[in-house]
Structure 1
Amino acid sequence: MTPVPGGAVELRDDRRDTRWRTELAPFLLGTYPVTRDLHRAVTGTGPTPDPAAGGAAPLTNISWLEAIELCDLLSARAGLGQAYSRDARTGEVAWDRTSDGYRLPTEAEWQYACKAGTSGYRYGEIDDIAWYADNSDGRPHDVGGKKPNPWGLHDMLGNVWEWCWDLYDEEVYGSYRIFRGGGWAESARGCGASVRRRSHPTFAIDDLGLRLARTVQGVRTA
């Protein structure tokens, strides 16, 4: 995992026409999206068959709820505290923000890490940094095949969308969760640091995966 320094990021909600600034503590973020090989090593089973994708390709067809479960499995395997618990009656997921276990990044953490101190829509020329509709040949590619951002994070844009912890807009969309980054089937315009998408936590598709985060021990996440 890659250490990400603390800092601040500005986010926006176009529906509400609002912007807000979030202060972030240092945290750890996966250098790459979770791969099919990592999923197999943790669960003992292969992900949804995809003859076009090898083990180093990003894991796809995983829902937000399955992503949460995978984070807890990884934490248990590593001897870390589990970040999440799920109410057996309501199904609601709670996050223990003091846990040092694996978790999904918040939307603010994801955007901050993606931009990596840059100020543009992307951190580089799109064909140099991302697999997207114009260059992906209609499939995901092994992680790390494109140039990283200035903080050494690969595939933050393109290849697969990545689930985040946050609700999108509870007032309008209820339990829908956010995903970020654009995927191999996305147009160039959809692969930008500020692009926000959402879906139901049970939703899974072939260009949506996840990236792991961890809270730095002793530093509380906002």
Structure 2
Amino acid sequence: MEPLIAVPSGRVTLSDRRTERRWDVDLEPYLLAAFPVTQAAYATVTGERPSAAAPGERLPVESVSWWDAVRFCNGLSAREGLTPAYRVDGEDVSWDRAADGYRLPTEAEWEHACRAGTTGPRYGPLDEIAWYRGNSGDRIHEVGGRQSNAWGFYDMLGNVWDWCWDIYDAEVYGSYRVLRGGGWFDEQWSCRASVRRRSHPTFRVDDVGFRVARTDHA
């Protein structure tokens, strides 16, 4: 795995267009991957290459479910001698917040890292920072091909959506989990720091991937 970036503590205000709700989340420091997990990294840990959009070592892995991402995190933790962050019991998964292993970011962590201190809808001009419908040529691209944000994160917007840990809205959507960031086939309005999407944790499609995080116990 490529090194993770240390993200400072802070407060982020999340918002949901459907419910018009806004809420603040205070964050402790954490670590987050600069890039989405690549097909090469995914294959190294799992032995699998599920991607449907196109094959390529430096392309983001896609066509992976939220459950696939959870299993990858635990597999990578075991590979590096870290305590797995997730305890899986059948169809139930719990997060051991004391563990030092790999995990998915919360959506608040994701948005805090995406914004990198900015307050607008994007951390730079969209054509320079993201692969989306307007410039992708209707295809996925290698990670790191657009400009990073101020904290060194690439592809936070565009290329592939990122699975996050959080349940979207349990009362309305049950076990659906949050997706963030927009993908290579999305219109520009989907590629904004605040946009929330949801899907069933077994969902697999060719513009959804993930990036890994770790809790900073330093």
- Name the TM-score class by shorter chain: over 0.9
Unaligned runs of 5+ in 1: none
CA contact (8 A) 1:53 1:139 kept: no
The alignment status of 1:2 with 2:1, answered yes or no, reads: no
Cα deviation for residue 39 of structure 1 reads 0.6
Unaligned runs of 5+ in 2: none
Partner of 1:47: 50
Partner of 2:88: 86
TM-score by length of 2: 0.96
**RMSD across aligned positions (CA):** 1.0
Residue correspondence of structure 1 range 1-222 to structure 2 within 5 A: 1-48=4-51, 50=53, 52-88=54-90, 91-217=91-217
Cα deviation for residue 49 of structure 1 reads 5.0
CA contact (8 A) 1:39 1:47 kept: no
Paired residues in the alignment total: 215
CA gap 1:159/1:49 in 2 versus in 1, 3 angstroms: closer
Cα deviation for residue 43 of structure 1 reads 1.5
Cα deviation for residue 137 of structure 1 reads 1.0
* Equivalent-residue separation in structure 1 for 2:33 and 2:145 (angstroms): 15
- Runs (4 or more) in structure 1 with deviation over 3 Å come to none
Cα deviation for residue 53 of structure 1 reads 3.5
Please give the per-residue CA displacement for 1:113-165, whole angstroms capped at 9, x wherever unaligned. 00000011000000000000011111110000100000000000000000000
Cα deviation for residue 17 of structure 1 reads 2.4
| Percent of pairs with identical residues | 55
Please give the per-residue CA displacement for 1:72-128, whole angstroms capped at 9, x wherever unaligned. 00000010000001123xx11100011110000001000010000001100000000
